[in-house]
Amino acid sequence: MIEIRPSDERGPADHGWLQSRHSFSFAAYYDPDHMGVSALRVINDDRVSPGCGFATHSHQDMEIISYVKKGAIEHKDSMGHVETLPVGEFQLMSAGTGVTHSEYNPSTTEPLEFLQIWIEPNVYGIEPGYQQKQFDARQGLQLIASPDARGGSLLIHQDACLYQLRLHAGQSVSHSLESGRTVYVHVVSGAISVNGERLSEGDGATVKADDIVEFTGHGNSEALIFDLP
């Protein structure tokens, strides 16, 4: 069973300096039919104007993943990290007992485009943590985050795995889905088919009750794949 979330049906937000599309209910956008999938609570597709950004704000008990599509994020937090997150790198911040941070577009000329992802943890009140990593640009499925940090992946405090999917035109790869689990797909760029259903940039899809999820590329394409409890 597959349920498609078309890109143009995502919730819009226009704050002048920030243009965003929300895959799930967030802030002023509320849709009771789209509150998240399993532990996946937020996918915001954000575009930040040059020299602008999110001032210092707080989070608690949430696994927060950022992935830059264009530009770079200038990150500062209460754990003492002052970092730059460039295109293609993943950042995972475990908010735990509480953390404050800011995110800015340091460029004075170019917009910042990034995905902000929230996953609800399965443990609460932990010490906050920060991880950042550039992964090899390999074709097929690349494990980015897992509950046991296997294969050099980032450690996430949830029974969930995040994969990066890269495909050429006509290239296919499959993912085995264990009983009772759910896969959510978000297309970052290009177009792919998921079990025969074509998705384009910004589209999402929820897959349940299938043993195998098959992905096929239409031109060079990239997607994030969430294997969820």
Name which of 86, 88, 80, 130 is nearest 107 in CA terms.
86
Q: Specify the pTM.
A: 0.97
- Domains and their CATH numbers in the chain: 2-228 (2.60.120.10)
Query: How are beta strands 140-146 and 154-155 bridged, if at all?
Result: parallel
pLDDT at 137: 86
pLDDT at 210: 76
Q: What is the pLDDT of residues 160-203, one digit of tens each?
A: 999 999 999 999 999 999 999 999 999 999 999 999 999 999 99
Q: pLDDT averaged over the chain?
A: 97
SS3 content of the chain, % helix, strand, coil (to 5): 5, 60, 40
Q: What is the pLDDT of residues 121-169, one digit of tens each?
A: 999 999 999 999 999 989 999 999 999 999 999 999 999 999 999 999 9
Name which of 191, 190, 161, 188 is nearest 176 in CA terms.
161
| Residue 196 burial class via C-beta count within 10 angstroms: exposed 0-12, middle 13-18, buried 19 and up | exposed
